[in-house]
Chain A
Amino acid sequence: MFVKLAVLGVVLGCVLVFWRRLSGLVDTAVGLLDNLFERRRTGPLKDAPLAGFLLAPALAVLGVFGVAPLVLAVYLSLFEGKGLNMRFGGLVNYSRALSQEGFWDSFLVTVYYAAGTIPLCLIVSFLVANGLYRLGRGRGLFRTLYFLPYVTSVVAAATVWRVILHPHVGLVNAMLQSWGFSADALPQWLLEPNGAIHLLTGGVVSEDVGPSLALCCVILFDVWHASGFMIVILLAGLTTIPRELEEAATIDGAGPLQRAWHVTLPLISPTVFFLLIVSVIKGFQAFNSFYALTGNGRGPLDTTQNMTVYIFTNLYEYQRLGYGAAAATLLAVAIVILTLLQWRFVGRRVHYE
């Protein structure tokens, strides 16, 4: 292990040390290649051999691990059985998935998660980016601080949150206790399968309505973790809009909220739309935070088992490749439909200059 790393380091070191001598060699080699490719100098296919050479590595990787698996996924989904011994079953996996309660439960978890995370993330990020944009000094520092969660690994950050939210040793419950909560009424946070609404209303609403408290914790975690990325993108979008328009609105007597809603938001709507599309795709594919926060992704009484966790469990624990592939294909179809719907209904309202 260490040997391999050392060899890599030595090779890199040699390249750096002998770069001057190496660069001459590289230049000669590249020049030879150039001559080879530019022998044919006319016609529409003039650049084709060189293009083929430049594209080959990228297309090979994307083809084998990106496009081919897509075809293979649909093919696999037609087989049933465990492990690699499978026999053809037609559409049986699809009909099984669509009639299974676990599948629909996980779909509901995915929907709760997306409906919770995306609007919260967008609102928080817009407010922060809008505030940072107007800041004179300290903008860079704030931006760095807000972006920090995004560059940290989900696993490590989730490990920290798990301990902070731990029912017995966690900081949050220690705080609640110091504010006078009795020890046996403390929330179980990530271990709580009952619905958040049920707990908030003191049991008026039945416990299986709405997302579980554990799922709400996952949602909050992802809002914290992903907002930094949105803030940076929104800030980049905000810096491109002309200041005169806002000044004009101020002179016309618009307050800060009116300005944000009627002037700023329409002007950066292309950026918001981009973020919406990307976060819906990401939200439907979320896995790492679920897995790292709950230990297996499923959570208490499977209340945080979203579709990707469901697919993963079928693949990893039950070795049901065909069934997992069918569920994954259904998920992909759902994502494509959602993206198209957004394009159709939200995209129309986006304001392009």
Chain B
Amino acid sequence: MMRKTLRYALLSLGAVATTFPFVWMICTAFKTYTEAASPTLRLFPDVWQWRNFLETFDAAPFGVYFSNTFLVAGVVTGSAIVTSMMAGYAFARLRFPGRAVVFGMVLATMMIPFEVTLIPNYVLVTRFGWRDTYAALIVPWCANAFSIFLMRQAFLGLPADFFDAAKIDGCGHLRFLLWIAGPLVKPMIVTVGLFAFLGSYNSLVWPLVVTGKDTMRVVQVGLTVFSGAEGVQYNLLMCASTIVILPTVGLYFAAQRHFLEGSLGAGIKG
């Protein structure tokens, strides 16, 4: 009993410490400039300043940043799901010469440090004339090895009988993939989609390198520039952070039932 109470107490303490920066962020976002800029231990604002959020949108073009980000992250998520389902199915269910070698090479791309490919990719994209375009932000992330690996695992987990039965009924591979296997691996589709979206939404270095114009910026770059600006107001800065954090946290709460524990641990054991 004693031990149980202690465990709850310690874990709660940890949870409070973990989430405290967010609580503080939200509270500061609602303070006036003078409240936010004076060193104080008071957590809550005197008056909750809702118009700070309007002022934040006035202070920097966050509307533009957000529409860029959602466009890029949306297309990247969709493409990553499609390409990984196609490739994952091929690796899991089709027999062709060189399958093991090609799959090994796909996995090997996971080991390459991002910084090594950063400079050549920058040169490549510049040669393509893609600087300050959506193509530069989207195309390199339309497929990734981790998603393909996860999808392959999911398709391997389906009983082969399903396919045999469908084949007898005259269903080919592609139709099987689209109408039967696809819906069956939905939890993995959610997982792959969530990781692709988070990865794209939260990426900083690549958009920073390939975009220069303000109209092409994504939110992460926008926030970095905003927070680095001279004489920035801390309350507005916390407003901006809150706005940037909100979409991914919302998405996580919506999707967590599907993706946690089960699918995340699936490919790792042993």
> Which residues of A are in contact with B by a Cβ distance under 8 Å?
1-2, 4-5, 8, 26-27, 30-31, 33-35, 37-38, 44-48, 50-52, 54-55, 57-62, 64-70, 72-73, 76, 84, 128, 131-132, 134-135, 138, 142-149, 151-157, 159-164, 166, 168-171, 173-175, 177-178, 224, 227-228, 232-233, 235-237, 239-240, 256, 270-271, 274, 281, 284-285, 287-288, 291-292, 295, 307-308, 311-312, 315-316, 321, 324-325, 328-329, 331-332, 335-336, 339, 352-353
Chain A: minimal CB distance from B189 (Å): 15
Interface centre among B37, B82, B270 (most CB of A within 10 A): B270
Chain A residues touching B, majority SS = helix
Shortest Cβ distance from B36 into A: residue: A169
Question: Is the beta-carbon distance between A236 and B261 smaller than 8 angstroms?
Answer: yes
Given contacts A59-B102, A84-B126, A160-B238, contact A281 B111 (CB under 8 A): yes
Shortest Cβ distance from B95 into A: residue: A47
Write out, one digit per residue, whether chain B residues 48-87 have a CB within 8 A of any chain A CB (1) or not (0). 0000000000000001100110110011000000111011
Question: Is the beta-carbon distance between B270 and A270 smaller than 8 angstroms?
Answer: yes
Given contacts A55-B86, A61-B140, contact A143 B260 (CB under 8 A): yes
Shortest Cβ distance from B257 into A: residue: A140
**How far is it, in angstroms, between the C-alpha of A1 and the C-alpha of B72 when the chains are bound?**
12
**How far is it, in angstroms, between the C-alpha of A59 and the C-alpha of B22 when the chains are bound?**
40
**How far is it, in angstroms, between the C-alpha of A107 and the C-alpha of B77 when the chains are bound?**
35
Query: Counting CB contacts under 8 A, is B113 at the interface?
Result: yes
Question: Is the beta-carbon distance between B39 and A173 smaller than 8 angstroms?
Answer: yes
Find A169's partner among B21, B38, B209, B256 (CB 8 Å cutoff). B38
Find A57's partner among B86, B172, B253 (CB 8 Å cutoff). B86
Find A148's partner among B22, B201, B204, B209 (CB 8 Å cutoff). B22
Chain A: minimal CB distance from B44 (Å): 13
Shortest Cβ-Cβ A-B pairs, 10 listed = A34-B172, A236-B265, A69-B120, A72-B120, A174-B39, A58-B87, A69-B117, A61-B143, A54-B90, A65-B140
Question: Is the beta-carbon distance between B261 and A235 smaller than 8 angstroms?
Answer: yes
Chain A: minimal CB distance from B80 (Å): 9
Query: Counting CB contacts under 8 A, is B112 at the interface?
Result: yes
**How far is it, in angstroms, between the C-alpha of A160 and the C-alpha of B265 when the chains are bound?**
31
Question: Is the beta-carbon distance between B209 and A237 smaller than 8 angstroms?
Answer: no
Interface centre among A76, A157, A170 (most CB of B within 10 A): A157
Find A177's partner among B28, B39, B119, B245 (CB 8 Å cutoff). B39
Chain A: minimal CB distance from B215 (Å): 7
Question: Is the beta-carbon distance between B143 and A281 smaller than 8 angstroms?
Answer: no
User: Which residues of B1-57 are within 8 A (CB) of A?
Assistant: 3, 7-8, 10-11, 14-15, 18-19, 21-22, 24-25, 28, 36-41
Find A224's partner among B18, B174, B256 (CB 8 Å cutoff). B18
Chain B: minimal CB distance from A309 (Å): 10
Question: Is the beta-carbon distance between A72 and B175 smaller than 8 angstroms?
Answer: no
Question: Is the beta-carbon distance between B175 and A159 smaller than 8 angstroms?
Answer: no
Query: Counting CB contacts under 8 A, is B180 at the interface?
Result: no
Shortest Cβ distance from A228 into B: residue: B18
Chain A: minimal CB distance from B203 (Å): 8
Question: Is the beta-carbon distance between A159 and B241 smaller than 8 angstroms?
Answer: yes
**How far is it, in angstroms, between the C-alpha of A44 and the C-alpha of B268 when the chains are bound?**
32
**How far is it, in angstroms, between the C-alpha of A240 and the C-alpha of B265 when the chains are bound?**
10
List chain B residues, Cβ under 8 A from A57.
82-83, 86-87, 142-143
**How far is it, in angstroms, between the C-alpha of A347 and the C-alpha of B63 when the chains are bound?**
49
A44-B97, A62-B145, A256-B3 are known; give 15 further A-B pairs, CB within 8 A: A31-B174, A47-B96, A55-B87, A57-B83, A61-B142, A68-B120, A69-B117, A145-B19, A146-B14, A164-B21, A169-B36, A270-B268, A274-B268, A291-B204, A312-B205
Chosen A-B contacts, 12 in total, with CB atoms closer than 8 Å, are A57-B83, A58-B148, A64-B140, A76-B119, A84-B123, A134-B7, A138-B8, A152-B245, A152-B249, A170-B39, A175-B41, A292-B224
Given contacts A26-B178, A69-B116, A160-B25, contact A54 B94 (CB under 8 A): yes
Given contacts A151-B252, A164-B24, A174-B41, contact A54 B89 (CB under 8 A): yes
Question: Is the beta-carbon distance between B118 and A315 smaller than 8 angstroms?
Answer: yes
**How far is it, in angstroms, between the C-alpha of A131 and the C-alpha of B249 when the chains are bound?**
24
Query: Counting CB contacts under 8 A, is B162 at the interface?
Result: no
Find A65's partner among B24, B121, B209 (CB 8 Å cutoff). B121
Chain B: minimal CB distance from A136 (Å): 9
Question: Is the beta-carbon distance between A328 and B119 smaller than 8 angstroms?
Answer: yes
Given contacts A73-B119, A169-B234, A287-B205, contact A240 B114 (CB under 8 A): no
**How far is it, in angstroms, between the C-alpha of A48 and the C-alpha of B26 when the chains are bound?**
55
Question: Is the beta-carbon distance between A132 and B11 smaller than 8 angstroms?
Answer: yes
Question: Is the beta-carbon distance between A325 and B11 smaller than 8 angstroms?
Answer: no
**How far is it, in angstroms, between the C-alpha of A2 and the C-alpha of B71 when the chains are bound?**
10
List chain A residues, Cβ under 8 A from B96.
45, 47-48, 51-52
**How far is it, in angstroms, between the C-alpha of A151 and the C-alpha of B249 when the chains are bound?**
6
**How far is it, in angstroms, between the C-alpha of A138 and the C-alpha of B265 when the chains are bound?**
21
**How far is it, in angstroms, between the C-alpha of A224 and the C-alpha of B74 when the chains are bound?**
28
Question: Is the beta-carbon distance between B18 and A66 smaller than 8 angstroms?
Answer: no
**How far is it, in angstroms, between the C-alpha of A270 and the C-alpha of B268 when the chains are bound?**
8
List chain A residues, Cβ under 8 A from B174.
30-31, 33-34, 37, 50
Shortest Cβ distance from B99 into A: residue: A51
Query: Counting CB contacts under 8 A, is B153 at the interface?
Result: no
Chain A: minimal CB distance from B65 (Å): 10
User: Which residues of B238-270 are within 8 A (CB) of A?
Assistant: 238, 240-242, 244-245, 248-249, 251-253, 256, 260-262, 264-265, 268-270
Question: Is the beta-carbon distance between A142 and B115 smaller than 8 angstroms?
Answer: no
Query: Counting CB contacts under 8 A, is B122 at the interface?
Result: yes
Query: Counting CB contacts under 8 A, is B158 at the interface?
Result: no
**How far is it, in angstroms, between the C-alpha of A147 and the C-alpha of B22 when the chains are bound?**
13
Question: Is the beta-carbon distance between B18 and A149 smaller than 8 angstroms?
Answer: yes
